């Protein structure tokens, strides 16, 4: 977007929307949308409170453990599927099923099996993230250029050398792409888990605020969450671009 010969930065329109929010809020049009200035003030007042920090900590903990297990299980499984045809044919149909399945339906099962707590939320998070990580790692291994493999052979690389010096790097752009999408899904998963098991983290906070009609508080937490999610997603996209420069050239 170019205005008066000056190029407006990509996300600058969010300022316009923020202004609109403020106007709608000030006009008192609806009780559910307090002015942005009020929400921002609330944001700074609650950010230091124990309840908010506890929710943030619990969410971050569930998110990190869930994502870490999805990555640690997902990448090796994906690589094995890419290498072994039998394993691939046995597992691929199920990976595809769970990739497109509405995983929210599984949360009640996790609740009865693992209780109304952190464990269920962690598993929900991992379940949201893992399938795309598996699928992309598999795709990354399968697309490795044959001549790279032959080059490794002809220069006498040992299998271990070949794996760590060639295959891993050759598949890295796809694997990272999978991890990025997986993490974005995990952000959604951790919130969905907390909403359904609403006694921990932001789920509990939302219950509290909406029961007491604390709209300012509610929006403040939403802004924090959305901003965090957006930052994570942009940061991962940046990392991926740094690695993907050679992906297009293979």
Partner 1 sequence: MQNRALLLKLLSAVLLFGAWEIAGRVPVSFAFPTFLESMAALVRMTLDGTMLTAYAETLKPLAIGVAISAFLGIAIGLWVGLSKFFDWLFSPIFIVMQAAPLAALIPLLVLAYGIGLTSKVLVVCIMAMPVIVLNTSGAVRNTPESYKEMGRSFLASDLSILVRIIIPAASPVIFAGLRLGISAGFIGAILSELKITPTGVGDIITYSRSIADYPSMYAAIFSIILLAVLFLNLLEKIELALFKGNERGYVSD
| Binding site residues, partner 1, CB under 8 A | 1-2, 8, 10-14, 16-17, 30, 32, 86, 89-91, 93-94, 97, 100-109, 111-113, 181, 184-185, 187-188, 190-192, 195-196, 202, 206-207, 209-210, 213, 218, 221-222, 225-226, 229-230, 232-234
86: tokens are 């039998």
In Å, how far are 101, 139, 209 from 135, measured between CA atoms? 15, 6, 39
Nearest-approach distance from CB 64 to partner 1, in angstroms = 16
> How many C-beta atoms surround the C-beta of residue 153 within 10 A?
11
- We find the least distance from the C-beta atom of residue 100 to partner 1, in angstroms, to be 5
Beta strands in the chain (DSSP E): 2-3, 6-7
- Asked if 243 contacts 172 with a C-beta cutoff of 8 angstroms, the reply is yes
CA angle 124–227–221, rounded 5-degree value? 75
Q: Residue 83 Cβ, how far from partner 1 at the closest point, in Å?
A: 16
**22 versus 167: smaller Cβ distance to partner 1:** 22
Q: Report in angstroms how near the CB of residue 89 gets to partner 1 at its nearest.
A: 4
| Rounded Cα distance, 33 and 188, in Å | 23
Which C-beta is closer to partner 1: that of 167 or that of 209?
A: 209
Nearer to partner 1, 91 or 243 (CB): 91
């Amino acid at each position: 977007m170019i205005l008066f010969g000056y190029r407006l930065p990509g996300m600058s329109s969010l300022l316009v929307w923020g202004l609109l929010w403020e106007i709608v809020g000030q006009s008192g049009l609806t009780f559910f949308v307090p002015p942005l200035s009020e929400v921002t003030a609330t944001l700074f007042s609650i950010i230091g409170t124990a309840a908010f920090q506890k929710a943030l900590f619990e969410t971050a903990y569930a998110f990190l453990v869930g994502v870490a297990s999805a990555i640690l299980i997902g990448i090796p499984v994906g690589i094995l599927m890419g290498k072994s045809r039998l394993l691939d044919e046995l597992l691929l149909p199920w990976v595809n099923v769970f990739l497109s399945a509405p995983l929210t339906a599984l949360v009640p099962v996790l609740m009865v099996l693992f209780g109304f707590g952190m464990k269920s939320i962690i598993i929900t998070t991992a379940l949201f993230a893992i399938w795309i990580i598996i699928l992309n790692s598999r795709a990354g291994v399968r697309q490795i250029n044959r001549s790279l493999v032959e080059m490794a052979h002809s220069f006498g690389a040992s299998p271990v050398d070949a794996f760590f010096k060639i295959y891993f790097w050759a598949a890295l752009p796809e694997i990272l792409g999978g991890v990025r999408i997986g993490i974005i899904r995990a952000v959604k998963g951790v919130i969905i888990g907390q909403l359904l098991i609403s006694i921990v983290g932001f789920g509990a906070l939302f219950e509290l605020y909406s029961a007491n009609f604390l709209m300012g508080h509610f929006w403040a937490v939403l802004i924090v969450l959305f901003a965090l999610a957006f930052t994570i997603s942009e940061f991962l996209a940046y990392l991926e671009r740094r690695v993907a420069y050679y992906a297009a050239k293979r």
